[in-house]
Amino acid sequence: MNENIRTRIALSLVPSIGAHRTRLLLDRVDRPTDVFRLSRKDLLSINGIGKQVVSQLLDFNRWNEVDQIIRRTEALRCRLIIPEDQVYPERLREISDPPVLLWVRGDVNLLNNAGIAVVGTRSPSPYGKDIAGQFVRGLVEQGLTINSGLAYGIDTIAHRKTLDCGGKTIAVLGSGIDRIYPMPNVPLADRILKEGGAIISEFPPGTKPDYMNFPTRNRVVSGLSIGVLVVETAKEGGSMITARLALDQNREVFVIPHNLTSTRATGCHKLIRESSGKLVENIEDIISEFRWMEFQKEVELSAVNVPDPEGVSDSALKCWKYIKDKGSCDADNISRGTRLSVMVVMNALLELEMNGHVKQRPGRVFEIEAA
């Protein structure tokens, strides 16, 4: 990995810096590697960088740990992306403090799909479980990706129901990409990857699921999404934090109403009462806020109706069918999905592109060329 990435990883290990201060530091220098060459005076002149952070930067000596993280990332076959990359989620670029690093396992192109975050309590009522499943099914049928945090309760239901319905889901971790939490959800995480989903984290591999990581994680869950569906929540907790973050990020917030006697849904009632979220009774109440999706579906449908290409090699046809199924993807994901080597995939893509069957978009992402 280049020194740009290495420097960002190093900054992620400095206590109290976070995404916002990292960005302040990177904006101050011409090259990321110059951050650790700044003097105490230069560092103190940056608004938002206090004496404690300055001392931590000047005393930083964890480069061996940085190299260990790089080796661990490569061993996990993770994709490590930064905001300057073409595949970095556009919606995350819009928020005030986008992650400066994202570790990704699975389909990286999924991060730019239209998605709804589904959040709620870790101990849902029978009604909460049932209604969560109903709404997730409806959202998947609309072609939406389901984003959540892989926690117990509503998160788990959202991920699992999405997969049961043949949809795609993204799990955002509050720990390192190699530290699935809670442990009982390791099989679910494996299933997400196996069935074409993605698992992401802005925390370096090896990071434990400390409680202070989860509010940080929640801003990614909401920021990655076009809207947040609050299924069932009390007045305090991660779901309420996610809803507030979504409002700050100019995202739509949808809230499912409950029985007035339900103690598990006092947060839902609070959001509705304060007009912080739209009361929803069915999927149409959500979809009506995103009419632009109808046009997108028409565009996708035009590609679906394209007939299989004739006169191409077997490997090219296999790649073409995989792209058609996914909508768009890069060579690495095609290789994993088709189980063809990257070299074979690259030759197949060249063949398809020269014959006008696929087109390449920025970021070396390929999609079907509709007639």
- 3-state SS string for 49-83: CCHHHHHHHHCCCCHHHHHHHHHHHHHCCCEEECC
Tokens of residue 301, six digits = 């449908």
Note if the bond before 182 is cis, omega within 30 degrees: yes
Residue-wise pLDDT for 147-187, tens only, equals 999 999 999 999 999 999 999 999 999 999 999 999 999 99
Q: Bigger pLDDT: 48 or 162?
A: 162
Burial of 273 (0-12, 13-18, 19+ CB in 10 A): exposed
| SS3 state at 327 | coil
Ordered by where they begin, the domains of the chain are: 3-75 (1.10.150), 91-287 (3.40.50.450), 292-368 (1.10.10.10)
What 3-state class would DSSP assign to 115? Answer: strand
- Report which of 336, 310, 311 is spatially closest to residue 322, judged by C-alpha positions: 336
- Over residues 243-285, the pLDDT tens digits come to 999 999 999 999 999 998 898 999 999 999 999 999 999 999 9
pLDDT at 24 over 50: yes
* Helix 314-326 × helix 342-354 angle, to 10°: 80
Mean local confidence (pLDDT), 88-101: 92
List all residues 6 or more positions away from 353 whose beta carbon is below 8 Å from its beta carbon.
Answer: 359, 360, 366
The number of C-alpha atoms within 13 Å of 42 and in the hemisphere containing its C-beta is: 14
How buried is residue 295: exposed, middle or buried, by Cβ count under 10 Å (0-12/13-18/19+)?
exposed
pLDDT-above-70 percentage for the chain: 95
Does residue 235 contact residue 270 with C-beta atoms inside 8 Å?
yes
